[in-house]
Amino acid sequence: MNKFGVSLFLAFAAAGSSLLVAAQDFAGRSVEDKLRDATSKPQEVIELVGVQSGDSVLDFLGGGGYYSELLATVVGQQGNVVLHNNQAYMPYVKEQLTKRFNGERLPNVTRLLTEVDDLQLGTEKFDSVFLVLGYHDMHFKDTGWDMNVDTAFPQLYRALKPGGKLLIIDHNSAADRGIQDAKELHRIDKEFAKQDIQARGFKLLLESDILSNSSDKYDTSVFAKELRRKTDRFILIFEKERQ
C-alpha cells in the first residue's frame, strides 16, 4: 500500500457518521465531488443503508466512482468496495476513473468491468449493493445497450448476503408512467420500481424523500442543464431476507 493509501486508512480509523463527515473533506477528493455532495447528500444516504466498517459493498453501474470513494473510507482497511461498470458506460466515465484511481489512491476498491450475461459477482459476497441512477437503464434496449433487468437482478440477489441491503436511487417520473420515460428522459416511476423489485424477491425496508424536488415537472431529460443534479429523486432500500 502506498503512503497515500496508508494515510487514507489512518485518517479514518474511527467508525460511524464522523467517519463519513471526515471522508467528505478528505484532501484527495476532487472539487467536483465536493460540489456534488450538496445535492447528492451522500452522508445521509450511506447512513440510511447502514454501511459499517469491514463491510463488502458493490457499487453496481457505479460510473465514475463518486460513491465508491466515499464507501471506501467507511468500510476501511478490513472492508472492500467493488466498483462495477459495463463497456457501454466506459466512454462516459473513463476520464473520471483515470483521475480517481491515479496513484493507487483507493487500495480497497476493486474495479470490475463485466456484462449482464455474466456479471461475475459471486454468491452471498456483499453486505450491500448500491445502484445509484442506473436502475432505469435496465429497462430499455438501444444500440450497444442491453443491461436487461431480468438477467441482472437474479445475479444481484445471489451476490447479496442474507440480510444484505439493496439501495436504489433514481430520477422519478410522473405517476403511472412506469418505464415509459426510461430511455428518452432517463426517468422511472417510483411506484413501479417498488413493485418490480419486490416481485424479484426483495423486501422493501424504507423509502426516503431527502433527494426530492417538488419543482421537477417530470417532462424534461435529467441531463438538461437546468435540472442537472436537481431532479426529483427517490430513495428505496430493500433487504434480501434471511431464510
Task: Report the DSSP beta bridge partners of residue 215.
Answer: none
The pLDDT value recorded for residue 18 is 55
Tell me the C-alpha distance between 121 and 71, whole Å.
18
Tell me the C-alpha distance between 45 and 42, whole Å.
5
pTM: 0.90
Tell me the C-alpha distance between 49 and 126, whole Å.
13
**Weakly modelled stretches of the chain, pLDDT under 50:** 1-16
Is there a contact between 224 and 217 (Cβ–Cβ < 8 Å)? no
The pLDDT value recorded for residue 111 is 98
The pLDDT value recorded for residue 96 is 95
Instruction: Give the β-pairing of 109-113 and 160-171.
Output: unpaired
Is there a contact between 197 and 188 (Cβ–Cβ < 8 Å)? no
Q: What is the DSSP string of 59-81?
A: ETT-TT-HHHHHHHHHH-TT-EE
Q: What is the DSSP string of the chain?
A: --HHHHHHHHHT-S-SHHHHHHHHT-TTS-HHHHHHHHHH-HHHHHHHHT--TT-EEEETT-TT-HHHHHHHHHH-TT-EEEEEE-GGGHHHHHHHHHHHTTTS--TTEEEEE--TT-----SS-EEEEEEES-SGGGG--BTTB---HHHHHHHHHHHEEEEEEEEEEEEB--TT-TTTTTTTT--B-HHHHHHHHHHTTPEEEEEE-TT--TT--S-S-TTSGGGTT-S-EEEEEEE----
Number of neighbouring beta carbons within 10 Å of residue 88? 16
Is there a contact between 165 and 204 (Cβ–Cβ < 8 Å)? no
User: Residues 7-26: pLDDT tens digits?
Assistant: 444 444 344 455 566 566 66
Is there a contact between 110 and 141 (Cβ–Cβ < 8 Å)? no
Which residues touch 201 (CB under 8 Å, ≥6 apart)? 157, 240
Is there a contact between 86 and 113 (Cβ–Cβ < 8 Å)? yes
User: Residues 167-213: pLDDT tens digits?
Assistant: 999 999 999 999 999 999 999 999 999 999 999 999 999 999 999 99
Task: Report the DSSP beta bridge partners of residue 233.
Answer: 171
**Could you give the domains of the chain?**
3-239 (3.40.50.150)
